Chains A and B, each alone.
Chain A
Amino acid sequence: MSFFLQILISGLVVGAVYALVAFGFVLIYKSSDVINFAQGEFLLVGAYIALSLVVFYQVPFLAAVALTLSMCVILGIVVERLVLRPFIGERAISVIMATLGLSLLMRGLIQMIWGTETRTFPGIFPDTPVRMGDVVVSQVYLWSLAIAVLLLAVFTIFFKYSSTGIVMRAAADDQVAALSMGISVKRIIAIAWAIAAVVAAIGGVLLGNINGVNPSLAYIGLMVLPVVILGGLDSVPGAIVGGFTIGLLESLAGGYLDPLVGGGVKEVVPFVVLLLVLMIRPYGLFGKEIIERV
């Protein structure tokens, strides 16, 4: 039983991070139809900036996070402006190649600056593990889960009820109509990229606290694909449900199936889900049924 709970909790934590990163991915897709393959690199950049601030510049953790997030807002806006805007009106495949190129470029730059070895955050959350019944959980997991869930709630409420959120949904629904209402769609897309960079950076800081930071964390950018295909490419609730589902499935597969076959199932399961969803329900759990064939 306690083994199961351990797996459950680590699955929820990973799932929450997936949900955060996927949230950003979906925002970008909804507002501009762009599939952002560089979402994982945003996560990496966030983690490394925070790490550098804390370790090299001795900035207190919370201040470092605040600074990191402001820098990521700027990064998101700059990337949209320099890389994506020239591609407005271009074919989908060109835009995909652009974000793929962006991801490779960012990864290269990151490795140039920070190297490839794993670096660890100094312990920020208390070390003492928490006992929940007969299960022992390290606090960093619980804190990460709590923070991720809180942020998901905040962003969901923002998106659903704030005037900016409503305008963003409107622009996602119908760009031409939004323009005729006096809504600057370019501004909306810039906000979407800024938010996407911020949520990815938060995911990076949370994961970095648990496992340390190294360039392979960018694999989460790829894991976002099964998450959003499952949830529905254009659905914010879908990103959240999909994130937790994939996180849990991965964790369960890693805990119960990997020992039987000698490993590897954990990595494969999300993509098996991806293929199954594409075959059975290609628009995902919450997505709009109209799917454009690219």
Chain B
Amino acid sequence: MAPQLVIDGLTLHFGGVTALAGIYQEVNRGEILAVIGPNGAGKTSLLNCISGLYRPSGGRIVFEDREITRLPPHRRAELGIGRTFQNIELFKHMTVLENLMLGRHVRMSSGLFSGGLYWGRARREEEQHRRRIEEIIDFLEIEGIRHKAVGTLAYGLQKRVELGRALALEPQLLLLDEPMAGMNLEEKEDMARFILDVAEEWGTTMILIEHDMGVVMDISDRVTVLDFGRKLAEGTPEEIQRNPLVIKAYLGKH
């Protein structure tokens, strides 16, 4: 089967700085691919190119046999590419429920004025969306905080809500930028379990940036290592742990 995502010769310059230099990467449907590398290696730049926040200077990105290199970010979300952010980007002044409902934006069909009014089609549609949202709320075990403004929640919970909002989009490909950064051990274990459950229940493909090597080795199917915008190595977690180049550039520092 053809890979779900193909990144070919991806290059990104910021002025004179090269953030990504000719990255080639295939991602298979349903796998969890971890992207690791020291700070400034280009991991987040890579995710931003896939989700469309950055326009690459060169190369191609093909998602489900369709070239998306020049598509604006909101069109890529419509195609089923969801993401979370390294520094949580939630709608802080809204409730958890509102955030999750906004996550379903691309699945909503009601027009400019019908939405929000409880009439006919819009009402049936809203109920359907609410059911889906409640499934996600159950799944992530955040029942108690549905109506809380997300700005008031603890950091770990915000991370969880952000994952929930990305799931509400029903993504085919989910980009997770350091989903466990700043969490304690227990929170990390919870998040790791959620990520594995997402893969199992929905078969969602995930690209994951993570610094905690233990987590990376535990949950990912394959690992790609970036260093100074170049791809250093790619392989199963075991292969990566044994790779001398990787040990030198990254693991060796610990």
Contacts and interface: CB of A to CB of B under 8 A. Distances in A.
B154 to A, nearest CB: 19
A174 interface: yes
B91 A164 contact: no
B183 interface: no
B89 A176 contact: yes
B83 A180 contact: yes
A184 B103 CA distance: 13
A163 B91 contact: no
B165 to A, nearest CB: 7
Contact of A163 (B53, B72, B73, B110): B110
Interface in A125-174: 161-167, 169-170, 173-174
A182 interface: yes
B108 interface: yes
Interface stretch (B30-38, B111-119, B201-209, B231-239): B111-119
Nearest to B84: A180
B77 interface: yes
A177 B53 contact: no
A278 interface: no
Nearest to A175: B89
26 contacts: A161-B116, A162-B113, A163-B108, A163-B115, A163-B116, A166-B98, A166-B115, A169-B93, A170-B102, A173-B94, A174-B89, A174-B92, A176-B85, A176-B89, A179-B52, A179-B53, A179-B72, A179-B73, A180-B53, A180-B83, A180-B85, A181-B165, A182-B74, A182-B77, A183-B74, A184-B72
A173 B113 contact: no
B105 A167 contact: yes
Contacts of A163: 108, 110, 114-116
Contacts of A164: 112-113, 115
User: Which applies to chain A's interface (DSSP): helix, strand, loop or mixed?
Assistant: helix
Q: How large is the interface on B (under 10, 10 to 19, 20 to 34, 35 or more residues)?
A: 35 or more
A45 to B, nearest CB: 24
Contacts of A184: 72, 74
A230 interface: no
Contact of B91 (A161, A162, A174, A182): A174
A185 interface: yes
Interface of B: 51-53, 72-75, 77-78, 82-83, 85, 89-94, 98, 101-103, 105-106, 108, 110, 112-117, 165-166, 169
Contacts, number: 81
B101 to A, nearest CB: 8
B74 to A, nearest CB: 5
B94 A170 contact: yes
A177 B105 contact: no
Contacts of A185: 74
Contacts of B169: 181-182
A173 B88 CA distance: 13
Nearest to A157: B116
Given A167-B102, A174-B90, A178-B102, 18 more contacts: A162-B113, A162-B117, A163-B114, A164-B112, A169-B94, A170-B91, A177-B90, A179-B53, A180-B51, A180-B77, A180-B85, A180-B166, A181-B105, A181-B165, A182-B74, A182-B78, A183-B74, A184-B72
- Which has the most chain B C-beta neighbours within 10 Å: A174, A182, A185? A182
A163 B108 CA distance: 10
Nearest to A288: B93
Contacts of A176: 53, 85, 89
